[in-house]
Every structure is written in structure tokens, then in C-alpha cells.
Chains A and B, each alone.
Chain A
Amino acid sequence: MNTPNPPLGSTDPSGSEPPSDDVLAGEYVLGVLDPAQRRSLETRLGSDRAFAERTAYWERRLAPLLDDIAPVSPPERVWQRVCGRLGWTNTRASIWQSLAFWRGAAILATLVAVVAVGLSVLQAPQPPTVLAPSLVTPLAHDDGTPAWLVSIDRTGGTVAVVPVPGPRDPQGRVPELWLIPPGQAPRSLGLVSVERSRTVEVPASLRAWLASGSVLAVSLEQPSGIPHAAPAGPIIAKGAIRVAGAG
């Protein structure tokens, strides 16, 4: 600190003399130091155990001030970018989170197979039937980032709903899946999860609508009363069912 002459009226030496390590650690934790000082102290933290202890003291002591800060749900893209920055391009999670993937029809075909295998594990063994290809419909947020992957088994009348892991709604609402046949009102398919895969049995009366032209959507709803007669909360993700090469 280059303050050779303290301002008149400031006779307090602690404003101009180098502070003790205790105070310096407190200044670092408070965040009053400039970038160069912060960087040099960060280097010191790695090598000076006593100074690291002093810093930990202030962090522990001042942390209760953070208790009042309200949690805010970050957008899904933060998690995707974290995975990207960590170079997790080969994990299942990051494949699901790659926008390029969602646009890549070739890889989509691979995933159809993967999910089909997953479904066959989830379900009781079935007699071989005429092969009805699974339909895979990504449900995306408004900004285009994927939120759920829905794999439709028209033969079994089920849909497997696989989330891109995301935080829960801070207000305690839960995601409810809706099937919206063309030109009709949404019909609830029940509760899904932001954390784990869920297979939903589709009522027989609605199975015919698991086809191109219908839309699947997820809204945030109060946990009680699911399935609801109509969505009341915001739609947070949606996607149109498409059948490759068929109607």
C-alpha cells in the first residue's frame, strides 16, 4: 500500500502500516483487497499453513452472515457448462446435455437403441412382437437446452422419462408431464422427476395420441392432486413427438 502521507485527521496508524496476518486474512475474506493483492494471498494460502488457518478462521466466523441469502435456482445451462469445462464429453450425462447431440440425427438413432435397451431392462420380459420402434422425444427449455428425454413405447403404452439432472424447484413444485394431442387440451401423464428416470404408464384412451403431431410438455405444479385436470403452473419444457420416416 503506497500511502506515504495519511490524510490529515487520520492519526490512526493502522490505516497506513502493514496489518497483522490476522487482519490481512480478515481483509482477504471480507474482499476489500485489490486483484493483485488477492492473487498474491491466494498463492500464499497454498504454502503458508498458519495463514491458511487464519483465513479459515474468518471464513468460519463470518459465514453465518450468508445464512439469510435466499437460494435461487440456476438455469440448467450452468451444469452443462460445468461438465463441458471439466471435459466430460464421454459421459452419458454430458452426451445428453450437448446441444449438438440433440441436433445430430445419427447420434439420436444410437440413443434410440440405448434407451430401447434400457427399457427392456426396466420391463418384464415380453414375447417378441413385430418390432415397433421406440420414439425418442427430447423436451427442451425455451432457450433450447434439453431437460428431459422421453422414450415412447407404443406397444407397451409407456413412456420412459429421463431427466438431464437439474435442481429442484425452490418453491417445492414438482414436474408434471402432459400429452397435448393436436388441437386438444393437455392431458396429464402424471409426475416426473428432475433427478431420476421414471416410466409412466399412459392411459389406454390416450395411447393413440403418442404419435407425430402431439406435443409432450412438463409444467411445474403443486405436488398434491397429481394428475391434475389441467396445468396451472408454468410450462418449463416441451417437445413435439416425431417419428422418423413414418407418420
Chain B
Amino acid sequence: MLEEGTPPEALLSQIALGNREAFAALYRATANKLFGICLRVLAERSEAEDALQDVFTTVWRKAAQFDATRASAATWLAMIARSKAIDRLRALPARQSQASLELTEDLEDPGVSPPQEAQAATDRAQLERCLDLLDARRRALIRAAFFEGSTYEELAARTQSPLGSVKSWIRRGLLQLRECLGT
């Protein structure tokens, strides 16, 4: 019998062994957060529901591939959710997020939720600090790409900028972030 509040890492190792009860417990513990992530990328609710199904069927099949030395279970699950949502977004005939993008301002509300643990607070603070060091244009593009799953082509159209420039800004931004964040 699984205890309430079993860590997701432990649930994943049980799921890798084919434990359906652990799978149901993981769903109960994480579906709300992962659905929030799917909805962030896919405004259409039914698409987000389909993406969430993709997420959990993937989790069932790939639980054995979860490597706790690379990422926490929460990060691993969140990134599967983003990835599945982006796959769905790419498959849509008409893209939803074509709103024009103003490059001189940040897109995101900088509201910060209280961190749940010290390590998360450190990672979060470091990421925010490194993003703040980027030129506003690079920062805005990286945030838009991350949260909305826009492709280079879409970002170029949305910002009315040349494709080569958009690629250059994002790639330079990534290199700068890599340098700032360290290993």
C-alpha cells in the first residue's frame, strides 16, 4: 500500500516495475500541475487534455528511463508535459499563438511564487538573475519560445524581424545563459 505523499521519484521507480497503483498515485499527485503546463502551451482545452493523455502514457512507458541524477521527478515530468504540448501545438493545422510580439518589453508578469525548497529558490533566483542580464530582446524571445512553444519562423513573423536575426538573438542568448548558469 502506497503512503499518501510518497515522493514522485519513488513512484516512478515503482511504475518502472509496472505498478499501476503507483501510476494512479502519481497521476493524483501531479496531473493538476502538468495540466496547467499543457494549458499554458495549448490554449485549447481539448488539445491540452489530449496532451495530458500523451504525457501519462509516455510516463508509463518511459518511467524506467527516469534518471534521478539528471533531474528531479518534478522537472522530468514538467518537461515531458511541455514537450508533449509542443508536439500537439506543432500538429495543429492553424497555429494559435501568432499574436505579435513587442521586443522591447518582457512578456511575462514577473510575479514570483514562494519557492518550495531552498534548492529550488537558488535555481530560480540564479535563472532570473541570468535572464535579467540578457538584452531585453533576447530575454523576451527566449521567454516567448519557452512558454508559447513558438518556432523560429513564428517568432520572426510575430516580431517582424528577419529569421536570421531571430535565430542569432536566441542562440546568443542561450550561449550567454549557459555561461551565466554554469554547469
Contact = CB atoms under 8 A, between A and B. Distances in A.
A10 B145 contact: no
B35 A72 contact: yes
Contacts, number: 179
A172 interface: no
B174 A27 contact: yes
Interface of B: 20, 24, 27-28, 31-33, 35-37, 39-40, 49, 52-53, 56-57, 60, 67, 70-71, 74-76, 78-79, 82-83, 86-87, 90-91, 111-113, 115, 120, 123-124, 127-128, 142-143, 145-147, 149-153, 155, 162-168, 170-172, 174-175, 177-178, 181, 183
A22 B174 CA distance: 9
Given A82-B57, A85-B53, A27 B170 contact: yes
A63 B79 contact: yes
Nearest to B24: A165
Contact of B145 (A9, A19, A30): A30
A67 B120 contact: yes
21 contacts: A6-B164, A7-B162, A12-B164, A14-B171, A30-B170, A32-B145, A32-B150, A35-B87, A56-B71, A60-B70, A60-B123, A63-B79, A64-B120, A64-B124, A65-B147, A69-B40, A71-B35, A72-B32, A73-B35, A74-B52, A82-B53
Given A7-B162, A12-B172, A70-B36, A63 B75 contact: yes
Given A15-B164, A29-B79, A56-B70, 5 more contacts: A38-B90, A59-B79, A60-B70, A63-B78, A71-B36
A15 B162 CA distance: 10
B49 A77 contact: yes
Interface of A: 1, 3, 6-7, 9-10, 12, 14-16, 19, 22-23, 26-27, 29-35, 38, 53, 56-57, 59-75, 77-79, 81-82, 85-86, 88, 91, 93, 165-168, 170, 195
Contact of A60 (B71, B86, B113, B168): B71
Contacts of A22: 174-175, 178
Contacts of A63: 71, 74-75, 78-79, 123
Given A10-B168, A64-B127, A167-B32, A34 B90 contact: yes
A7 B164 CA distance: 7
Given A31-B146, A60-B75, A72-B39, A12 B168 contact: yes
Contacts of A31: 82-83, 86, 145-146, 149-151
B167 A14 contact: yes
Nearest to B124: A64
Given A7-B165, A23-B171, A53-B70, A78 B32 contact: no
B170 to A, nearest CB: 6
A86 to B, nearest CB: 6
A66 B175 contact: no
A31 B181 CA distance: 20
A68 B150 CA distance: 19
A166 B28 CA distance: 6
B168 to A, nearest CB: 4
A14 B170 CA distance: 9
Contacts of B152: 32-34
A12 B28 CA distance: 48
Contacts of A10: 162, 164-165, 168
A78 B24 contact: no
Contacts of B127: 61-62, 64-65
